[in-house]
Structure 1
Amino acid sequence: MSDGNIDLSKDARAQAYATPLDQLNPAQPALFQSDQMWWNFERLRKEDPVHYTAESDYGPYWSITKYNDIMTVDTNHGAFSSEGGITIATQDGDKGPLPMFIAMDPPKHDVQRKTVSPVVSPMNLQILEPLIRERAAKILDSLPIGEEFDWVDKVSMELTAMTLATLFDMPQEDRRKLTYWSDVVTAVPGQGLIDTLEQKMQIFIEYHAYFTNLWNERVNAPPAGDLISMLAHGEATRNMEPREYFGNIVLLTVGGNDTTRNTISGSILALNRNPDQYRKLRENPALIPSMVSETIRWQTPLAHMRRIATQDFELGGKTIKKGDKVVMWYVSGNRDDEVIERPNDYIINRERPRNHISFGFGIHRCVGNRLAELQLKIIWEEILKRFPEVVLLEEPKRVYSTFVKGYESMKVIIPSRN
């Protein structure tokens, strides 16, 4: 097997197949950081697609690794609850996880989601498109030619932070705070960005204070089209507790940041690993929308979501007990060869490129999925106008996380302009 036509370490494969099945634990951030998690999922899809891990750093949990089984869990919010957090590692001080609409069940989930969804309506995306294009052009025109630079920092982070700052209607000069806070939310203490949970909580206090100020500004102003104003004036959200408001801000920050940013970076990696596909794209830019969907599948920017079983449930011949933690591994579902042909290959002109599970399914399907696709489409339209190629210089540095499947840095060079 290869991940996008590159051989992975034989050691990781040997270890995945040598581990007794009942001890197999795919939730290891070090494996994700080294891009070596594929073998565990390959084995589980073949041998034990509904798999119970009794002991892990996150307690006992079920792994759901096949596309259709993930669909079953994701679309059954009656049997699988989002209450209490959506990641395997939910931990948030002593008050329990932050409330946010993605970690709620109906009816509360539905009314809160409905409050913010107009910001990503087709009409609003039409208004946003020229602004995103103008910013993408400005970012790309400022890149050095013939010099090494970090694509994650200069392009992926910039475009997503600019767009998110616009959705919040906050000053553009503060946009990198969003990038930083988003990274802190998902960071594991002791892995580079933050040292301790206490430090994380201290940063959260500043983050919370910033958005409390924005709320106070908007609540005393007439209703407007930005996310904060929608929450401050929405019938279902204007009386929410401060922690709940902050929980939704955290959700919108991470959702609006990590997914698009890591797929923009992932597209550079995928096209460099697959020069035939890069050539195909250059020769036919009409393939951009299809390439964007294929990259979202291939990258799977959020590796999993978790649920809690609200009742005993039979799946794949196993009984998941009420109260059990259930992890849907989207990263594995997107490589399920029973649903996706040649799933480890990166093919930008697939027949059904949107047939992936990266955005989830059911009531929790990613609210901003069309905005993510729009940003990716625009940045690639603008890249192809300017540069014959963007060359990856070395393996990127990946994030230490089982949740965010992304990149800390990616060294590239642009040899020339068109």
Structure 2
Amino acid sequence: MATRPTAVFPFPPRVRPDLPDFTKPTLEAYLAKAPLDEVDIADPIYWEADAHWVYFKRLRDEAPVHFTEVNAERHRGYWSVTRWDDIMAVDTNHQVYSSEATLGGITLFDMDQDFIMPMFIAMDPPKHDVQRKAVNPIVSGPNLAAFEGLIRTRTQEVLDSLPRGETFDWVDRVSIELTSRMLATLFDWPQEHRRKLTYWSDVSTADPEVPGNPTKEERQGILMGMLQEFMALWNERVNSEPKGDLVSMLAHNPATRNMPPMEFMGNLVLLIVGGNDTTRNSISGGVYFLNKNPGEYDKLRANPALVEPMVSEIIRYQTPLAHMRRTALEDTILGGKRIHKGDKVVMWYVSGNRDERALEKPDAFIIDRARPRQHMSFGFGIHRCVGNRLAELQLKILWEEILKRFDRIELVEEPERVPSGFVKGYKSMMVRIPA
């Protein structure tokens, strides 16, 4: 990460002189000693530098349910929930902890009041249940079986197109390419315009206050343009026989066919981001983790049957969405702390996946764990990721095909990470496949 003269969001003035730069070692040293109340771990600078781990370890040990007021003008303060059991208590209790868009939604930062996008992940029952059910068939067992051959063929095409002995960006050439092709298939969207879907996903989750990202007004304009393009597909498919793509499913299901435009937009954003980020960033993360753990890479090459448990371990270790947020519907007690009605409660999945109280050696990347599916990257309860099996299938096929072709994929330099405390991902990752 390049040194910057100032942080994206200023640190408290009295600690700023202790930070000559904003590289990972400096930020980790700061987070290891700073008073817990002086840190806003949602600040994108920690995530761009991959420096957040030490602070979450401190929260789990010292204050597992902790209120943050730093930068409250940005997010009006929030509770950080960092231990496995406490996260589970929130995630499985939608009667007390709401996802409702009108209360702020599912990310730490509230939806803009002038641009609320209802989506079924940001709804409570019963509306959530019927809308989620409308798209469930896309990831049914028969559909996954039908997708498998297509996914494998595309994966083979992409891998066979990669250069040997040259440095290239794995994120662009493989991670984005494979996920954008799958997204286009799910929506029956023109493949030649598939990168639009990736672009809309990135815009919808980008922090508008990070330099270089679209502003709030620009973001709204871009998403309105997305809605316009999808409305054309909707109008075409609502007047045609039902088909197996997501737009057709929404257009023909009684629970969703009369959605207002902003609700259609919200569900589009949900399905695009959900189909993009988990798979895309786990595809990149797998290459990174195996390079950082060469013993595990050797283990995989010696026993390709470990691909399946490794996929779950990659998803745990990466945790592609770092958090989900809820809003308390009533006063309650969590971890000995009094949560007030209306408070934001942030479940840091990225921390729960490293909780020593729930997992053995959670900071180690171990591809043959005894219980590889024990992780919270997909969430729990009614909002558990609807496409989790499809994501796992794509990753499984990818690594099966990689092992057939390449002895190794070498990391050339540290990747460039997304400056976001929500999407925990990679902007670029330069690699080389030996000739």
TM-score (norm 1): 0.95
Deviation at 1:19, TM superposition (A): 2.2
Q: Measure the CA separation in 2 of the matches of 1:193 and 1:285.
A: 41
Tell me the equivalent position of 2:360: 341
The residue that corresponds to 2:108 in the other structure is: 88
Deviation at 1:373, TM superposition (A): 0.2
Q: 2:78 aligns with which of 58, 61, 69?
A: 61
CA contact (8 A) 1:397 1:409 kept: yes
CA RMSD of aligned residues (A): 1.3
Distance 1:151 1:395 in 2: 12
Q: Would the aligned equivalents of 2:139 and 2:390 in 1 still touch at CA under 8 Å?
A: yes
Partner of 1:361: 380
Q: Provide Cα deviations, 1:188-233, integer angstroms capped at 9, x if missing partner.
A: 2354653422221221121111111111111010011110000000
Structure 1 stretch displaced more, 398-407 or 56-65: 56-65
TM superposition shift of 1:13: 3.5
Matches within 5 A, 1:78-227: 78-84=95-101, 85-92=105-112, 94-189=113-208, 191=210, 193-227=212-246
**1:290 aligned onto 2:300:** no
Q: Does residue 32 of structure 1 match 2:47?
A: yes
AA of the residue aligned to 1:255: G
Whole-Å separation in 1 of the counterparts to 2:402 and 2:211: 32
Q: Answer yes or no: is the 8 Å Cα contact 2:116–2:262 preserved in 1.
A: no
The count of aligned residue pairs is: 408
Question: Is the CA contact 1:135–1:159 (under 8 Å) kept in the aligned structure 2?
Answer: yes
The equivalent of 1:266 in structure 2 is 285
Deviation string for 1:6-51 (max 9, x for gaps)? xx95533432243223333221111011000111101000000000
Q: Tell me, yes or no, if the aligned pair for 1:184 and 1:193 is still in contact at 8 Å.
A: no
Give yes or no for contact 1:187–1:193 (8 Å, CA) kept in 2.
no
CA 1:320–1:190: 2 relative to 1, 3 Å: closer
- Equivalent position SS for 1:338: coil
Distance (Å, rounded) in 2 between the aligned partners of 1:184 and 1:25: 23
Query: Which whole-Å CA distance do the structure 2 matches of 1:412 and 1:131 have between them?
Result: 26
- Given residue 404 of structure 2, which amino acid in structure 1 is its aligned partner? K
What one-letter code is carried by the residue in structure 2 that aligns with 1:202?
Answer: G
The offset of 1:99, in angstroms, is 0.3
1:241 is aligned to: 260
1:362-407 CA-partner distances (Å, limit 9, x unpaired): 0000000000000000011111111111100000000010100000
Give the 5 Å matches for 1:319-338.
319-338=338-357
Alpha-carbon distance in structure 2 between the residues aligned to 1:286 and 1:324: 46
Query: Which residue of the other structure, out of 36, 47, 58, is the alignment partner of 1:21?
Result: 36
**What letter corresponds to residue 197 of structure 2 in structure 1?**
L
**1:279 counterpart letter in structure 2:** D
What is the aligned partner in structure 2 of residue 382 from structure 1? Answer: 401
Which residue does 1:41 correspond to in 2? 56
Instruction: Return closer, same or farther for 1:192/1:393 CA change in 2, 3 Å cut-off.
Output: farther
In structure 1, distance between residues paired with 2:110 and 2:47? 18
Q: Deviations over 1:89-134 (max 9, x none)?
A: 2333x42431000000000000000000110011100000000000
Q: Please give the secondary structure, in 1, of the residue aligned with 2:90.
A: helix
Q: Which residue in the other structure is 2:27 paired with?
A: 12
**2:66 matched to which residue of 1?**
51
Q: Which residue of 2 aligns with 1:74?
A: 91
Which structure 1 residue ranges, 5 or more long, are not aligned? 1-7
State the match for 2:337 in structure 1. 318
Cα offsets for 1:316-353 (capped at 9, x unmatched): 11111111000000000000011111111100000001
Cα distance change on mapping 1:195 and 1:233 into 2, 3 Å: closer
Q: Residue 15 of structure 2 aligns with which residue?
A: none
Residues of 2 paired with 1:157 and 1:281: CA distance? 24
Cα distance, 1:388–1:83 mapped onto 2, change above 3 Å: same
CA shift for structure 1 position 312: 1.0
- Quote the Cα distance in structure 2 between the aligned partners of 1:415 and 1:364: 42
CA distance in 2 between counterparts of 1:193 and 1:21 reads 29
Assess if the C-alpha contact under 8 Å between 1:66 and 1:336 holds in 2: yes
